[in-house]
Amino acid sequence: MRRAAYIGAIATLGCVAAAQGRATPGASATRPDAQAIIQQSVAANQRDWDAEPGYSCSETVRSGKQAKTYQVTMLFGSPYKKLIRVNGNPLSSGQQKEEEDKFQKAVGERRAESSDARARRVADYEKGRRRDHLMMEQLTRAFDFRVSGQTNLAGRNVYVLSATPRKGYQPPNTEARVLTGMRGTLWIDQQTSQWVRVRAQVISPVTIEGFLATVEPGTWFELEKMPVSNGIWLPKHFSMKSHARVLGLFHHQSSEDDTWFDYHKTPAEYAQASDPAKR
């Protein structure tokens, strides 16, 4: 259900970056072990990643001065987005009917699709999730972490960890190369080991050969997560601004701002479908 940003490599980079904050006065002189905190947070994120496909939600995507809100339903194994508001205003009755008709058409098509077609559709969705998961697994390998303090964020006591590129780190793929040029800090909840907020920034240019582009300083990402149910935390807000030089000549800038809310378990009628008769 994540948009291309969080489910794509860029958003996952937000997962390895940092929240910046001021340490709480009087914090314990005994500094917690940063590596242990990171390992526990990775385990918490693994549980979230496993649980995520079972949830539907609402999502607001902001682009320039326009904001579109969607009802995002996990429909038989992959997300379907139904437009419900524009700039905070409900659609007209005619537009609502049109969107509902499109949703019901998708329901019928997915319910009736062959086993092979369903497998291909779900595989496309899972491919992006696995790519994100690989990036998350690189977290403990790509960075050195240091506990820089403790503070309170959103009513939760958190550790503040700084992250700097680890010397000698070898990225496993092209997308992971961008980790070599990033630094940041993480706000990690002391009770649940969850990432409360993450902010990252690119500090040195990184060339991505496969895309013939260079990600440049001035690129930054921020991710916030929130508790949903039963210890599961899912994304609440993601924002990003990127600067890149394409083919060594052209400068490209982009931005993204997404907000998620109203998480709920996907209705059983959409959570899975019986296999249709083989054709």
Paired with 198 in beta bridges are 186, 223
For residues 136 and 143, the answer to whether their CB atoms sit within 8 Å is: no
**What's the per-residue H, E or C state across 98-154?**
HHHHHHHHHHHHHHHCCHHHHHHHHHHHHHHHHHHHHHHHCHHHHEEEEEEEEEEEC
Confidence (pLDDT) at 7: 33
Q: Tokens 């205003």 — which residue?
A: 89
Alpha-carbon gap, residue 182 to 204, rounded angstroms: 7
Task: Write out the two tokens for 220.
Answer: 């930054």
Residue 272 — pLDDT band, cuts 50, 70, 90?
Answer: low
Residues 6+ apart with CB under 8 A from 36: none
Confidence (pLDDT) at 215: 74
Alpha-carbon gap, residue 97 to 2, rounded angstroms: 25
For residues 143 and 163, the answer to whether their CB atoms sit within 8 Å is: yes
Each residue's pLDDT tens digit, 173-206: 777 777 788 888 899 999 999 999 988 888 777 7
Paired with 163 in beta bridges are 145, 184
Confidence (pLDDT) at 100: 98
The region of weakest confidence among 64-78, 110-124, 126-140 is 126-140
Residues 6+ apart with CB under 8 A from 167: none
Confidence (pLDDT) at 142: 86
Strand, helix or coil for residue 49: helix
Confidence (pLDDT) at 141: 82
**Greater model confidence, 206 or 273:** 206
Diameter of the chain measured on Cα atoms: 69
A 10 A CB-CB count for 151 gives: 18
